[in-house]
Amino acid sequence: MAKAYDYLFKLLLIGDSGVGKTCQHDLYKYVQYRNQLTPHLFWVADQAYRKLCLSKKSQCIAVSGESGAGKTESTKLIVSHIIHCSGAAGDRELQNRIIETSPLLEAFGNAQTCMNQNSSRFGKYLQLNFTDTGRIIGAKVYDYLLEKSRVVQHGPGERTFHFFYYLFAGLEKETLEYFYLDDPETYRILKDPCGGKVFPNRSDFKHCRQMFNTQKDIMQRVGFTKDDINMVFTILSAILHLTNIRFSHDDETDGVYIEDEYPLEVVCSLLGLDQEMLTMALISTFNMTKGERVISLKNFDQANDCRDALAKALYERLFSWIVKQINTLLQPNRRYNQIYDKIYRTCSILDMSGFENFQVNSFEQLCINVANEHLQYYFNEHIFLKEEQDYRTEGVSCEKVEFQNNEDLIELFMGTLGIFALLDEESRFPKANDESLVQKFHSHCKSHSRYIKPRGNETAFGIHHYAGKVVYDARGFLEKNRDNLSANLIECMGKSGIELISHLFTITDGMNHSSDIGISSILPFQITDNNKKSQSTSLYTTRRPKSYEIERTKENLSQKAAKSLRHDLKSFNKTNTIPKERFSQNTVTVHFKVSLNELLDKMKDAEPSFVSAISARMVTVSD
């Protein structure tokens, strides 16, 4: 597309040359007709703001497009123009905070993929709140569908979330030692699967160092305390050490033991955990059977899955807590709550992860693409179906516009016997595997016109999406969908000596991610009676007290614990059969569907505008 921007019906298209392109805000302020000026994002933003002020109806701007096409940058421009339109009538400090939250969330929610060096791995719905006069008085961020699996696994040439790299590049040597951090090459989740260096060159390291300083400054400017920031660094460090725990099969117990317990000791020190409890939670599990606790030892795969599930849960809860802290800092003050009874005019901007089609497409791409199918249906409904219905209601004749309706595809995924229902059903069977899952897909979905059954690959299935054909590799689907934390692991985390960690693993909301606790009220590191040690951390502390120095123990406590458990099992169960852990927690797809429905409900209550970012790659894609 030669133009930076262009209009198509009620849709604004953005070409590659338009991303990040700015012009004078005032030029597109209060422009009544779009043909008065060349097409631009600012006109869409200005129209949404004007409609908000004139019609009293909530507005929503949906930004869509392929991954890497420029959605996030477009969203920033839209927000900046709407805030500019509120002008002197607004709180300048609040406006700056709103603008600065975007790069902060990118640092924790974005990552490098093979298509985009700054790819959003979560969906963001930013709600701006205004008074009747158009004054901006607050904002709220809703986060959706964080790709938490990226914490523990990423593809060749890709990375985990940005801030892990910023941490190593930004912290001084003494502070790294404070968090027990060593050479970044020694951490499993930072390594390139193809053997490349964590920091491929000096310029990359310098960039990450600069970003660390920038993000830390932003956190302080928007209102994070030193203790808040320190807690973020602590949890990130704990995740790095946790994912370095390695298991080996124990022939004597037929379970597993931890090869080197030093990373485990570090995690317990950082998170205020009881080492024996965490050890037991990683190598064993328990179920309640007829009111009695039945314990079983984990095998090698189960122990690795348990470790990774905890790492993902820690990061997901950290990210949600950061969002909660941001929302606390951006919320309207009490005076406006009293005047407007918490009912404001709102203008929201949706920035969802774009449609993805990689060389290898896994469970994450499936969820992202299904979310985009729903957004495409929402677009079709408003641009074509409702427009046509309005014409007919007003008695105006119009030609029927042909478009690709994807309602049948949504039913293929969300229906009673759809792909997600089949995935959940198979996830409930302990003996199920990825091959049996795909066979179930083939059996129930092969007659659907959008479903593809590839030849010669037992773990592959394909879908004709609105944006093109995608072949998915189902290896790992079941494990990623289960993603369940064992009951004794949740119990261990709930008994953390650090109140925030304990709280994050005892909240019972299940579906909502954001926490209701503020760290500023409980830090520095309040330690409960569960932990004999007391700890206070400051951003500027460079060395831990002697009592916190960790010495590598010669005796392997996990082997000792496994032997003790095995003895107890034999005494308890003469047949020596090991019960399977029951599947009782909600799956990732259950959370996905609830989260997606919440998002769509918010959008349905607003008058929409649409922006689509077009990448040059999309022009060459064909079905």
Q: Which listed residue (58, 113, 116, 514) is catalytic?
A: 116
Q: Which of 354, 502, 515, 609 is catalytic?
A: 354
CA 472 to CA 31: how far, in whole Å? 46
Q: What is the torsion angle, in degrees rounded to the nearest 10, for the CA atoms of residue 156, residue 159, residue 160 and residue 165? A: 140
Would the CA dihedral through 357, 420, 352, 238 be positive or negative? negative
Parallel, antiparallel or unpaired: strands 11-14 and 607-613: parallel
Question: Cα(413)–Cα(367) distance, rounded to whole angstroms?
Answer: 10
Closest CA to 547 of 535, 565, 559: 535
- Looking at 72, 427, 481, 496, which residue is catalytic? 72
Q: Is the dihedral of CA 243, 248, 250, 255 positive or negative?
A: positive
Residues 397-401: contacts with CB under 8 Å, at least 24 apart: none
Q: How far apart are CA 229 and CA 540, in angstroms?
A: 11
Q: Which of 58, 64, 119, 327 is catalytic?
A: 119
Catalytic residue among 80, 101, 110, 120: 120
Helices within 284-381 (DSSP H only)? 300-330, 334-340, 363-380
Tell me whether residue 170 is one of the annotated catalytic residues: no
Pairing of strands 11-14, 5-8: antiparallel
Of 67, 175, 253, 353, catalytic: 67
Cβ-count burial 222-246 (b if 16+ within 10 Å, e if not): bebbbbbbbbbbbbbbbbbbbbbbe
Coil vs helix vs strand at 214 = helix
Whether 72 is catalytic is yes
Residue 284 annotated among the catalytic residues of the structure: no
Q: At what angle do helices 92-109 and 162-170 cross, to 10 degrees?
A: 100
Q: Which residue has the tokens 């032997």?
A: 563
Q: Is 510 a catalytic residue?
A: no
One-letter amino acid for residue 435 of the chain: E
Is 120 a known active-site residue? yes
Catalytic (active site) residue 494: no
Active site residue 223: no
Instruction: Name the active-site residue from 68, 90, 170, 272.
Output: 68
407 is a catalytic site residue: no
324: Cβ contacts below 8 Å, ≥ 6 apart = 514, 515, 516, 518
| CA–CA gap between residue 104 and residue 106 (Å, rounded) | 5
The pair phi, psi for residue 575, each rounded to 5°, is -80, -10
CB atoms closer than 10 angstroms to residue 287 = 17
Strand pairing of 59-65 and 11-14?
A: unpaired
What is the three-class DSSP state of 428? coil
Mind telling me the catalytic residues? 67-68, 72, 116, 119-120, 354, 356
